[in-house]
Amino acid sequence: LRTRGSERPGLPSLSHIEKRVIPETQTGAESPTLGDTQPTTYGFPSFAESFIAALQVSGALTLLTPGAVINGRFEIVAELGVGGMGVVYKVLDLHLDKIRALKAILPHLVANESLRQRFRNEVDLCQNLSHPRIVRVYDLGQDHETGCDFFTMQYIEGRSLHTYLTDECQGRVEVPEAIRIMDQLCDALEYAHQTTIHRDLKPQNIMLDAKNEVIILDFGLAKLADPLRTFASSSAVGTPNYQSPE
């Protein structure tokens, strides 16, 4: 792969592939994580981003467009974000006449059983969590046409904490506002840690809604908390930039 300032002879250039700019609302699919063979970006375009772009350019990956209906119930309103493993749409629940977010496995990964288990894990964990600062997850289903697993969740109109910090604040947050955000975040984590550990907490997985209230997303790598066991394993999970050094 070609990265900024370096090349490897004999490998094709991906410079013709443009990085897509996704309007920031709620994604939960925007940053690659370890544990799913997706490398970190470390500030550079990731292999996952380039690979997804290449699939779309070649026509091998076709995402749903506004107006499409999944299982006769969920009408696609807009695409919110796409990552190395999944895509998140804004949808209209035709049965309940409510706007939801729908997270689906990418079609070319439908045979990935570990990823399907991650989806089921996220639904199981989140349905047992009831807190105003943790995203609500509703239904788990499977697209009748593609066989892709998906689940629906609370739609949040807002932006990620990452966007807030980098674009709106340019890295400078007033002390009272920083305390308010951290207080809400710790309140949600104190509740969640009674039963689970998130394991991939980062600004991209924390939303600020229209009222600037904190909501935590993406429990796909979470584990049930058990004081009698540890989580040591031969493979790391999470996002390296936000992990403790050890």
**Residue 183 annotated in active site:** no
* DSSP-derived secondary structure letter, 38: -
User: What is the rounded distance in angstroms from the CA atom of residue 154 to the CA atom of residue 83?
Assistant: 19
212 to each of 133, 154, 172, how far by Cα in Å?
A: 11, 16, 16
C-alpha–C-alpha distance, residues 39 and 84, integer Å: 10
> What SS3 state is found at 98?
strand
Query: Could you please report the per-residue DSSP string of 181-222?
Result: HHHHHHHHHHHHTTTEE-S---GGGEEEETT--EEE---TT-
Among 200, 209, 218, 226, the active-site one is 200
What is the rounded radius of gyration, in angstroms, for the C-alpha atoms of the chain?
18
End-to-end Cα separation, the chain, in angstroms: 28
How far is Cα 240 from Cα 30, in angstroms, rounded to an integer?
Answer: 15
Catalytically active residues are: 200
